[in-house]
Structures are given as C-alpha cells and as structure tokens.
Structure 1
Amino acid sequence: MLSFRRQPAEWSPHAAVWIGWPSAADLWKDDLDPARREVEGLVRAVAFPAGAAGPRGERVELVLRGAEARAAAEAMRARLPEPDMVRPREAPIGDIWLRDTGPVFVKDEAGRLAASAFRFNGWGGKYELAEDDRIADIVAAMANVRLRRFEGLVAEGGAIEVDGEGTVITTRQCLLNPNRNPGAPEGEIEAVLKAAVGAEKTIWLDEGLAGDHTDGHVDNIARFVAPGKVVCMRPTGSDDPNADVLNAIRKTLAAATDAAGRRLEVIEIPSPGRALIDGAPVPASHMNFYIANESLVLPTYGRLTGEEAAAEEAAAILRSLAVRKDVVTVDSSALLTGGGSFHCITQQQPA
C-alpha cells in the first residue's frame, strides 16, 4: 500500500528552488551566453525581488555540468548582492529542463518532504540526452529526500499543474500520446497521478501550443494561482497561431470543477502572439511563469515578437491577482530557442 503524498501548490513556501544553468555549448551554440543572461535575470528576481539590497527571496540551487559552466556560474554569482544565496551544484545534466527531468517534491501524510518521479523517455524519444533519466534521483539525493519512482507512467513535471488541494490539470496530447503511454486509458493515468502527487480530480485539456516539443505541456497553457482560480491565455493579434487552441482551453476550464467541487474561476491574460524561429511557430507563453516566495517571474519574448504591450498587460493582470507583490518581467527569447522558459528550468523545493 503506497503512503499518501501530495505536491504542494507553487505559491506555498519554498525552502529553495533548483534551477538549471545552461551548460551544453554544443546544444546552445550562439544562444549560450544570451540564455545565461536570462537565467541570471531569473535568479535575481527569485533571490533578490524588488531590487532588495540583501536576500529576502528564496535560495537557489544552481544545477550545472562542467568546468566552463561552473566558471560562468561563479562569475554570475560574483555580480549578485549576496552570492551565498546561490549554490552551484554539479550534476551530469543533459540540459537545463529540471521541471521535466528533476524530481517532483511532495509532502507525505506527516508533512515530511519526499519526492516522486515518473519514467522519463526524452519527451517521447525526441531528445534523449545522457543521464537526464537519472537526474531526478541525483537532485533528490542532493536535497536529502527519499525519491519514489512511478515507472508505470511516462511523464514530465511540466505535464502536470496542481492546486495543492488535490486537483491536477494535464493534457491528452502529452500523457495519452503514443510516444509516452500508448493505449493507456485516462483512468489508469489518473490512478498513478493520485499515488504520485495526490490527485483527487484530474482536469483534461486536449492540446497544447503549436511548435511545442513537449507535446502539449500544461505549464505553457494553464496555471493555478489560488485554489479554485486558474489563469490561461487569450489570443493576441489576428495571426496568433494558437487562437483556436487557446479558446478551447478557456472553454474547458470554465466548465470544470476542482477536487473540492468548486467551479473554476478562469482569468485570461494575453498570449505573446505570433513568435517565430527560422520561420516556424514556437511555444512562446506567458503561462511559463515561476511563483517564488516573494516574486512572480513572467517570461517575455520581445526579441522574437517585437511587441511588449501584451507582456505589460499580462503582468498588470497578474499583479492585480495579488499572487505575489512583485511581478517581474524578464525576456526569455534565448531560452525559448531551446524549447522552454522559466518554469521549465525550475523545480521548487517546499519548505
């Protein structure tokens, strides 16, 4: 009999956040330094919100690989108000996407910290990088928590979104994809989610964003910001490539109830609109924000879209929700060349 475990909501207090530091020069090429600058922006917003002279955010565990990456990380730390707020941690990461490769931190029935992990197959076999399938074990050991693997489900942390009270949102495009769980019924997947993260109610969305290498991760399309309250995106511009998908997401969420039986309150913020790399749509998303202890870090994509009004409006709406006092916008265009943004490279460790 598996003991009870539940993933706390992201707005719950954190002891630390694990962040991937761009380390693979062969993968990032010309975007390596720009991606590192964007991660530095994230680190500053998380550890030193609202321009504080000293630390009042959360500690950063910076996961990196190799001497060159460590030297670059140390140079970044030297620029910070309090370098000790960031601790470099060497691990054989294939790439920086700790939301997907790292452990999902949970609490057990006694409120003790533990961790869950699903079977990882390189996002449906598309990006199989050495050691990424055991990073969850390595990070859990570094955090000194016991990891339980749920090998019956191929999934990534970015595929699930929780409210901390037993509700999970996910997508059929990802978890029912033949490249992950071929032929698996929804009920079978829901049973694993209940055991792994405490899901009492699973809300299924259909599809994710165009060009999303993850096959529709939910952290690009719908996020809880409070119990019973979920944020999604509305299309921006007449050429938004995700207009139909975004409208379908809003409709599904508006008709859904959570584990407590509440009808969801749905808040829309504008999408970044049409973003292209090499002429193809990429999954630029204002949903890929990270909720830290004292700040909410919102990714923007002005270098790709050439337009900041949607990001400014998105930030204003999130500020009005009072999820966090400090809502910080940081351009994430270089990170998006690798397929993701700030939520994708973070994994919060509950207090």
Structure 2
Amino acid sequence: MIKIAPPRPEWAPHKAVWIGFPSHPELWELDLEPARDEVTAFARAVHADGKGEQVLLVAADEEAAAAARRRAGDIAKVVIQPFGDIWLRDTGPIIRGDGVAADFQFNGWGGKYDLPGDDDIGARLAEARGQAVETFNWVLEGGAIDGDGEGLVVTTEQCLLNRNRNGSMSRAEIEELLHRDLGFNEVLWLGDGLLNDHTDGHVDNLARFVGTRRLAIPEASENDPNWQVYQRATARALQHGDIEVVPVPSPGRVLRDDEIIPASYMNFYIGNASVVVPLYGTENDAAAVEAIGVLFPGRRTVGLRADHILSGGGSFHCISQQIPG
C-alpha cells in the first residue's frame, strides 16, 4: 500500500481558504443579511490587511455573489459554485499532505438536510483550482475529524460510529479507512459531542489540536449544559496517553428561542496571520480570546460575533476549508 501523507495541521501555511457565503434566503430567513455581515467580517479578519491567505468567498448563485462583492471589496475573490449551504468544512475537499483533494461521500449529516449541490461541491471546488481529486465511497465530514499533522487524528464515536453515516461499519474499519485514505496512523476516540449538535457530535466543536499531540478542550462548571461532555473528553484524551490537554473557557449556556444551541469557542479558524474565535455575547468571550491567543504566538487573535451564523448550525470553522501552502 502506498503511504499517504496526512493533511497538514491547520496552523501550517495556507495558500488560500474557501469560505461559504450565505446564499439561500429560504434557509436563512431573517438571519440572512446579518449572517452575511458576520461572514464578511470573518473573511476580513483572515485576510488581515493582506498579511493572511487569499480568501475565496464561495457563493451559490449570481445574487449571492453580487452581495459578497459589495461587502468584501478587494479583500476576497468571489467564486460561484452551486451548493446547498455554506458548511464547506464538511462538504469541501480535505487536502492531504500530498496535495490530493480527498473527496468523501456526504449524506446531509446522516440524512437530516439533503440539499442540492452539497454532495459534489468538494470535487467541483478542487477541480476548479486544478487540484488532483480522489473520491472515496464512504461518508466523512471534515468537521468530524481534526489532525495534528503528525498522523494523530481526533474524532467522536457519536459521529463516526453513527449508523446514519456508514451503517454498521466498526471502529477498526473506520480506523483503517482513515489510515488508507487520509494517512492517519493513530486515532483518539472521544465519546459524545455537544448537546443539540445536529452534526451528531462533530469534534471541531469539542476539541481542537493546537500543536503536535496538544489538544484544547473546554472546561466548565456544572451549570454549563456540556460540562460532563468536556470532562469525559478530557479523561479520554489523558487516558489515550502522551497527549497534553489545554483547558480553555466555554461560552456556557447559550439559548435561541429558549433552546440550548451548540455554541463553542472551539470552532475557531487558524489562518496564516489571524486566529478567529466565534463569540456569542457571554461573560467568557474575552477570556476565551485571551486563552486561545496564548496558544498561537505570532498570530493576532480576533474575537467576532457569530450569533447569526450559529442560527444555521455552525460557526467560522464550519464554513471554511483551508488550502495548504
């Protein structure tokens, strides 16, 4: 078997980044325009006055593209590719260490949201940039995994072992596919993800690598709806061995229409010049920006509100997919 180089870690240099731009009024309703503003602010922070990577705002149609150009000006190139929604971390390609765009099957997070264009947007984006594409016949979303660049990947059982993704495929079978198709040679299995996360527990809302074998996980008090989830994740990571766990704040209980929503500072994006942290107007916002900033010396850490993006189910990491340099 040919040895596959795993994806480079997110803190490695990027050539560019795809960022999904809200395009369908019927999906976003009253959140459409404010979500567009939040996405543009994110793009501006990643661009960082020309110090960051090239920003590619991906719009689904001409109307959305025009709205993106009006807002972004010269900080971004607008790309038109039809898609269902903006969650390019999950539907976009995962660029391996050998430069090949790995394109996996996408089934709307286990059949929850089947939207036209989401199943092949990854291959189309990669092919438009002249990337070699290799397609695989099993379901995997980019937000379900996070790698440290040295062959270690973290994921959750709730997502990757969920029967709504790949049927009765076993843990060993999933590990073999992660090795065969993405080059990961070690898997850290966490348990469940955040409460009410429609992705079935994507790890990029729970735990993120911030260095080789160095994993950031929130910590929280008992009034946080996810405090036990964080505790169990930390215990799993420490039991795995030779992993440093770095505690960061949690936003706590965040509600929309009286329902707990999966707000997480872990959905930050690591750009060439900036680390962009989603904020939700809670008392821990400033502390989260400070704590995450300490982990990335040499980069500016920016906290930006993401309330309206979150209304669609995710945040900055979820709507972006980097193209390694």
Shorter-chain TM-score tier? over 0.9
Task: State how far apart, in whole Å, the 1-side matches of 2:239 and 2:266 are.
Answer: 20
Match of 1:282 in 2: 261
Match of 1:326 in 2: 300
Measure how far apart 1:2 and its partner are: 4.8
Task: State how far apart, in whole Å, the 2-side matches of 1:333 and 1:316 are.
Answer: 20
Measure how far apart 1:150 and its partner are: 1.7
Task: State how far apart, in whole Å, the 2-side matches of 1:27 and 1:196 are.
Answer: 33
- For the aligned residue pairs, the C-alpha RMSD in angstroms reads 1.2
| Alignment of 1:205 onto 2:190 | yes
| Alignment of 1:57 onto 2:52 | yes
**Would you say the 8 A contact 2:62–2:80 is kept in 1?**
no
**Would you say the 8 A contact 2:152–2:213 is kept in 1?**
no
Task: State how far apart, in whole Å, the 2-side matches of 1:64 and 1:124 are.
Answer: 24
Measure how far apart 1:27 and its partner are: 0.2
Measure how far apart 1:3 and its partner are: 5.3
Match of 1:219 in 2: 204
Query: Residue type of the partner of 1:90?
Result: I
Query: How many pairs are equivalent?
Result: 325
Measure how far apart 1:340 and its partner are: 0.2
Task: State how far apart, in whole Å, the 2-side matches of 1:223 and 1:168 are.
Answer: 10
**Would you say the 8 A contact 1:296–1:324 is kept in 2?**
no
Which of 65, 69, 89 does residue 64 from structure 2 map onto? 69
| Alignment of 1:130 onto 2:116 | yes
Match of 1:9 in 2: 9
Task: State how far apart, in whole Å, the 1-side matches of 2:143 and 2:297 are.
Answer: 20
Alignment of structure 1 residues 259-338 onto 2, 5 Å: 263-302=242-281, 307=282, 309-338=283-312
**Would you say the 8 A contact 2:3–2:183 is kept in 1?**
no
Task: State how far apart, in whole Å, the 2-side matches of 1:287 and 1:350 are.
Answer: 21
Alignment of structure 1 residues 69-218 onto 2, 5 Å: 69-78=64-73, 83=74, 85-108=75-98, 113-151=99-137, 153-218=138-203
Look up the SS of the partner of 1:30 in the other structure. helix
Any stretches of 5+ residues in structure 2 without a counterpart? Answer: none
Query: Residue type of the partner of 1:280?
Result: E
Measure how far apart 1:264 and its partner are: 0.8
Measure how far apart 1:87 and its partner are: 0.8
**Would you say the 8 A contact 1:17–1:347 is kept in 2?**
yes
Look up the SS of the partner of 1:299 in the other structure. strand
Measure how far apart 1:321 and its partner are: 2.1
Mean CA deviation greater in 323-332 or 293-302: 323-332
Percent sequence identity over aligned pairs: 45
Query: Residue type of the partner of 1:338?
Result: G
Task: State how far apart, in whole Å, the 1-side matches of 2:45 and 2:151 are.
Answer: 29
Mean CA deviation greater in 140-149 or 219-228: 140-149
1:300-331, Cα deviation, whole Å (9 max, x unpaired): 111xxxx2x31211111122223552000000
Look up the SS of the partner of 2:83 in the other structure. coil
Look up the SS of the partner of 1:208 in the other structure. coil
Match of 1:240 in 2: 224
Query: Residue type of the partner of 2:254?
Result: A
**Would you say the 8 A contact 2:91–2:121 is kept in 1?**
yes
Task: State how far apart, in whole Å, the 2-side matches of 1:95 and 1:41 are.
Answer: 19
Query: Residue type of the partner of 1:39?
Result: V
Any stretches of 5+ residues in structure 1 without a counterpart? Answer: 49-53, 258-262
Measure how far apart 1:242 and its partner are: 0.7
Task: State how far apart, in whole Å, the 1-side matches of 2:28 and 2:298 are.
Answer: 32
**Would you say the 8 A contact 1:11–1:291 is kept in 2?**
yes
Task: State how far apart, in whole Å, the 2-side matches of 1:8 and 1:143 are.
Answer: 19
**Would you say the 8 A contact 1:225–1:323 is kept in 2?**
no
Query: Residue type of the partner of 2:96?
Result: V
Look up the SS of the partner of 2:163 in the other structure. coil
Look up the SS of the partner of 1:255 in the other structure. helix
Task: State how far apart, in whole Å, the 1-side matches of 2:256 and 2:305 are.
Answer: 15
1:32-75, Cα deviation, whole Å (9 max, x unpaired): 01101111111111001xxxxx4111101111012221111111
Match of 1:260 in 2: none
**Would you say the 8 A contact 2:16–2:323 is kept in 1?**
yes
Match of 1:34 in 2: 34
Task: State how far apart, in whole Å, the 1-side matches of 2:268 and 2:262 are.
Answer: 13
Query: Residue type of the partner of 2:57?
Result: L
1:141-187, Cα deviation, whole Å (9 max, x unpaired): 12211111121x21100000000100000011001111112211111
**Would you say the 8 A contact 2:44–2:72 is kept in 1?**
no
Match of 1:255 in 2: 239
